[in-house]
Structures are given as structure tokens and as C-alpha cells.
Structure 1
């Protein structure tokens, strides 16, 4: 059997929603159809892509690799379609989470204010979420990019949150502090993450548990009990998963949210996006 883009869209939807049921809702199809499409893709490639549980689904190593490449493929396909129809499209990349609780308002307000330009949110990989590879026109990042190639603007700040297993000793607590991490195993994304053990004073520093390369791998490692994680609060808004709890770290330094674009390519659409994002974070 040959595979099609709809198979890739289904796999990416499963990865982003965490279950076949939620993927079906996002795609507007039945759960049975999602299951059949996934099974057909796995049979076509001869690999297992998703581990199916009673309430959730997690990616295998082959599945994570396929999702990373599949997102790039879908972004290119969407751009080709827009180009063929003569539509103007602004592709906004993000690595872990878009703009958290502001994401829905961003999409809705943009569509109302700029109907002539379609805003496409594209989940990419790496520090710049596909911007360096030309897969998007701008990106939401939570690190400062190299100024030689890119320009950026601060559009807001977010609190840091801890992510940990639901059975962890922190589950009954309402407040987490930086000192509570001393000696605890920390999951680190050295490419696109916002937190490393160096964030803490040496006496309070957590231990290094494992390196992850995506939010999906981060969530998998937390649910497996490999370690605990720290991320911007947008992750907690956009990546709820059974078995993972989030708590705000009350005394952690905030995370800067920046809009990034290629130097010299600050178009009218990117300028409008910058203004809208700044307004949303100011609310």
C-alpha cells in the first residue's frame, strides 16, 4: 500500500493530542478512522509508530522520527498549495508550544484582522523551529537567536512550570520552589529547551537525568518516571497528558517569548504579527 499526506496528518495529530480519541476530534473524523489510518501507515512502512494505551498513545522511537520529518513535509505541502492558489500565507513556527493560552486568540484575531493573509502554525524542531531551514517565515522561540542571521523582538514573558508524574511526592503540593529541585533528576532539551541545571545555584542544582529532543519525548520520559521537567507555562497549556501534572515554580526567573525572523525580512505581515502578539501577552 502507498501512503499519502493524510496518513502523515493523522500521525502528527496523534503525537500532538496524546490519544487517538483527541486526534479524531482535532481531525474531525471518527476514532475508528484514525485507528485504521495509523494501522495502514504502520503496515506500509513495516514499523510500529505508536504505542496504544487505554487512555493515551505515545510515540515509539520510529514514530518520533517520522513525526519530526512529517511536520516538515506537511509544511512544504501547505506552502506549495498556497503558492499554486496565489494565496498569501504567513507560516509561524514553534518547537514545543506556540503561545500557550493565547494561541486560540491569536488565530481568531488574526483571521478577523487580516483575512487576506492565512496564518499557519507549524510545529518544527530545533532552536528556531524550522526558520533556519526556510520551512517557516517567522518563529516563536524562548531563547535568544544568533544576531548575525536573525532579528527578534520580545513579545512577552511566561512563568516556568514543573512537570512531573502524577504519583510524584509533589502531587499534593500547590507551590514548588527552586530549592525543591536539589538533587532531583532533571530532563533537559539542549537544542530548544529553556532550562538546564545551570539555572540553579550550585547548592540547589538538580541532577541531570536524560536529554530529550522534543516535547513528546519529554512527556514520555516524565510518565515513565525517568525524571522531572521544567518548561514555560505555554507547554502546560498546550500539552496536557494523563499521568503528568504541572505546577508553577513560584520563584523561578520568567521565560522570554520572542518572535524571530530572517534579518532583513521584517515584512508588513511579520510586523502586524509582532504587534498582535505583544498585545495578547500584555492582557
Structure 2
């Protein structure tokens, strides 16, 4: 049997919903149809993709790998359809913040200069903001340049800032220094964040008090007084919250801002995005 996109769409729906029943609801079909479609795909490939338990569906290792590639395949199929219909969309992923104070200028400039292609900013998760899963066409990252599956280009630099509770003793300061973090409790995102112990000399390192997996959880922890945080200045521009203050860290090394895309997919649209971002950051 030849498999089709509907088989991949069903597998991805199962992965996202966590059960065949919920996948059927999200797809608008019966559970029996979901079960038959999954079974036919497994028979076509000769592998077990999903373990059916009483109340949930768990992906096997082969299933997890298939879902990662499947999302990318579905995204490409959607791009083919929209291009054929004359409507193109360039999806730009980001994990914490897009391009900070340049975000509005980027959107306006793109709309003026590339009216035939919609630029969609997509907040994703993980170190590459959904790029690895095929959910976006390119991503803004603030981590070391990835290798292997991706290509990247440095488009700009950002200052580092600290976020802290409004009642903290730092509230009266205009700037903070790296040495001031000695003895402080630090909240970090180890998956997509930019803060590591290597930023400080060993004798001045703060205590890494809590790990979070999103900017929202980071802000929640700061608001609750769990500790303070360090991030790129784009976070301060894009995520203002009552009870949280930001200050520039005067002697911290800058954060590299990179545009990342799948290797071999440096399209004219991505090239134009790269040019615009470089110009905005250099202005």
C-alpha cells in the first residue's frame, strides 16, 4: 500500500493529542478511522509507530522520528499549496522574543517590500523554536550556531539584561554588573535560554536556583521572588510584566542573534529576511 499525507497527518495528530480518541476529535473523524489509518501506515512501513494503551497512545522511537519528519513534510505540503494558490507565507519562529525593538520595523518593512509574501511570527519551543520539527521556515535563535541539519547567519548583537522583582534592592539602580550576581539565586531556561555558568568567573557565579522551560515560567518565577534572571534585551522589549523590572548588565558580553534555516533551503525569501534583519540591527 502507498502511504499518503493523510496517514502522516493522522500520526502527527495522535502525537499531539496523546490518544486515538482525542486525535479523532481534532481531525473531525471517527476513532475507528484513526485506528485504521494508523494500522495501514504501520503495515506499509513494517514498523510499530504507536503503542496503544488503555487511555493513551505512546510513540515508539520510530514513531517519534516519523513525527519529527512528518511535521516538516506537512509544512512543505502546505507551502506548495499556498504557493500554487498565489499566497506565500514565510514563518519565522522564536522561543522567547522575536527581534525585540526591531520587531515592528521588521513587520512593516517586510509588508512594504515583500507584499506577495506574508511574514508570520510564530512563538515556538525548544532551542530552535520549532524549526527542527518543521513548524517554521526559519528561526531567530540566541545560542551558538547549530551544525549538521541547519545553516545560520549572524544578523546582530543584543545587550544582556537582568529581570528581577520590583521590590528587589536593585530597583534603585540604573545598571547592574556581572559581579553583583554573586550569591544571588538565578532562574534559567537550559533548553532555549542564553544564560550559562560560563558567563561568570567560578568565584563569582550565582546559584542556579530554578530551571524553567519558557519565558512565561521565567517571569512567573521572578514575580514570585524565586530569584533573578538574565536574558537578551529583546526579552525586556517584548515581555513587560507588572512586578518585574529590567536593567542592562553593563559589563556582560553581548548576545549573538542568528537567523537559522534548514540546510539547502536558503530561499530568496530567507535571503531577503536575512538582509532586512542585518540592516535593522546595524542601524
Under a length normalisation based on structure 2, what TM-score does the superposition of the two structures give? 0.71
Mapped partners of 1:118, 1:144: distance in 2: 28
Alpha-carbon distance in structure 2 between the residues aligned to 1:154 and 1:95: 17
RMSD: 1.8
Instruction: Tell me which structure has the larger Cα radius of gyration.
Output: 2
Q: How many pairs align?
A: 208
Shift of 1:83: 6.3
**Structure 1 residues 177 and 118, CA gap change in structure 2 (3 angstroms):** same
Partner SS state of residue 108, structure 1: helix
Map 1:190-269 to 2 at 5 A: 190-269=190-269
Partner Cα distance (2:184, 2:166) in 1: 16
Cα offset, 1:175, TM superposition: 1.4
**Where does 1:1-283 land on structure 2 (aligned, <5 Å)?**
82=82, 85-283=85-283
Deviations 1:42-90 (A, max 9, x none): xxxxxxxxxxxxxxxxxxxxxxxxxxxxxx9xx97xx689568541110
Q: Is the 8 A contact 1:197 1:207 kept in 2?
A: no
TM-aligned CA distance change 1:112 to 1:164, over 3 Å: same
Displacement after TM superposition at 1:204 (Å): 1.0
Partners of 1:257 and 1:159 in 2: CA distance = 11
SS at match of 1:236: helix
**SS of the residue 1:194 aligns to:** coil
Contact 1:131 1:138 in 2 (8 A): yes
The whole-number CA distance in structure 2 between the counterparts of 1:190 and 1:86 is 41
Q: Cα distance, 1:198 vs. partner?
A: 2.4
Give CA-to-partner distance per residue, 1:217-266, whole Å, 9 cap, x none: 00000000011000000000000000000000000000000000000100
Contact 2:146/2:152 (8 A) holds in 1: no
Does the Cα contact within 8 Å between 1:163 and 1:246 map onto a contact in 2?
Answer: yes
> Separation in 2 of the partners of 1:85 and 1:238?
34
Which secondary structure does the structure 1 equivalent of 2:104 belong to? helix
Map of 1:12 onto structure 2:
none
Could you state the TM-score of these two structures normalised by the residue count of structure 1? 0.71
Equivalent residue number for residue 18 of structure 1: none
**In the TM superposition, what is the alpha-carbon distance from 1:203 to its structure 2 partner?**
1.4
CA 82–219 in structure 1, closer or farther in 2 if over 3 Å, else same: farther
3-state SS, counterpart of residue 226 of structure 1: coil
Distance in structure 2 (CA, Å) of the matches to 1:87 and 1:161: 39
Cα deviation, residue 186, structure 1 = 0.4
| Cα distance in 2 between the residues matched to 1:83 and 1:114 | 14
